[in-house]
Amino acid sequence: MLWSRRESLPGRSCRCLPTGVLVCAPYDGGCRERQAGKRRGVLLNGLQIAVDFAALPLRPDVFTIPEIGGYGPFALRWYSLSYIFAILGGWWLLAKMITRPGSPMTAAQLDSFITWATFGVILGGRLGYVIFYNPAQYLANPLEVFKVWDGGMSSHGGIAGVILGCIGFGIANKVSGLRTLDYVATVAPLGLGLGRLANFVNGELWGRPTGTDWGVIFPGAGPEPRYPSQLFEFALEGVLLFSIMTMLFWGTNARLRPGLLAGVFGVAYGISRVIVENFREPDRQIGFLSTGLTMGQTLTLPMIVAGLLLILYALRRPRLPATA
């Protein structure tokens, strides 16, 4: 057995991960021990999480290098690994995409762009968190801004950083920054989805308390089961949005209408985020704003408006030739 203990809540059977995350699912009657050669499971519908999911050896750290010569220990975290896979995966996908006629960049320029995008997403993600989510802490301790390994990244800030990276890359290479952004918007859901999976494994950014059958008890979040809102975001911002963007890029000529793909991304991501924020616990240091919205919803609304404007702009202009 890989879980550390089995517990029960009224109407649920729960198993605890080694990290303390307790995954719960409904059961018929009381807790039942496994019979030899047999496992009595529960069939779950939709987004219900199976009890046996708790058997997975999930930990915040992928591995840890012990202290050597007074330095360390050093740990590779799942969240860091999600960034690495997102950058490499996005690089690979973009390399395939720019082979289609009408690409805004060459294969040689792609390598340069990845550098712009990487710095944009990391710097933007960090500064976005500092400015929007915890300015008081970092004003009091400004050197902590550089401690990225301690956590604290904002998806909205990361998106803003990538936009600025596209603009800078476009100016430096004399290519269309808007068309570059269209291509990036197509692969961005890959990074968003991987990041949400890492959030779930780390037991952070959890959901609001729930009485439903797929509640998860996270360490530090109290005894009540909560929505696995990270998985909701993975499904909408990651899987669904990636499917939509991929279909539009490869199945239509949307890439030849500058701003269209970026606009669709802005609207679709915005709607997804507004929906999931209703299941996600607001950040402790902020709570709900005076408008009754969360900070995530507030930052998302301008994205929806900007996305709609980009879509209108793209559809009102003539389509570029495939050789553009």
Please write the tens of the pLDDT for every residue from 73-110.
777 778 888 999 999 999 999 999 999 998 999 999 99
pTM of the prediction? 0.80
What value does the mean pLDDT of the chain take? Answer: 83
**What are the C-alpha distances in Å from 254 to residues 241, 272, 304, 320?**
15, 21, 19, 10
- Helix H segments across 51-134? 78-97, 107-132
Per-residue pLDDT reduced to its tens digit, 196-248: 999 998 888 999 999 888 788 888 888 899 999 999 999 999 999 999 999 99
CA distance 256 to 318: 9
Report residue 258 as tokens: 């500058």
Give me the half-sphere count of Cα atoms (radius 13 Å) on the Cβ side of residue 136: 2
Per-residue pLDDT reduced to its tens digit, 130-161: 999 989 888 888 888 888 767 789 999 999 99
Question: CB atoms < 10 A from the CB of 161, how many?
Answer: 24
Per-residue pLDDT reduced to its tens digit, 256-302: 999 999 999 999 999 999 999 999 999 888 999 999 999 999 999 99
CA distance 203 to 205: 7
Per-residue pLDDT reduced to its tens digit, 298-322: 999 999 999 999 999 999 999 998 7
State residue 62's pLDDT score: 66
Computed from CA positions of residues 275, 279, 282, 287, in that sequence, does the dihedral angle turn out positive or negative? Answer: positive
Backbone angles phi, psi at 52, to 5 degrees: -70, -5
Classified as helix, coil or strand, 38 is: strand
Computed from CA positions of residues 86, 88, 92, 98, in that sequence, does the dihedral angle turn out positive or negative? Answer: positive
Beta strand pairing status for 22-26 and 216-217? Answer: antiparallel
State residue 78's pLDDT score: 80
pLDDT at 26 over 70: no
Q: How confident is the model at residue 44 (pLDDT cuts 50, 70, 90)?
A: very low
CA distance 136 to 121: 23
State residue 11's pLDDT score: 54
Cβ–Cβ under 8 Å, residues 6 and 55: no
Classified as helix, coil or strand, 67 is: coil
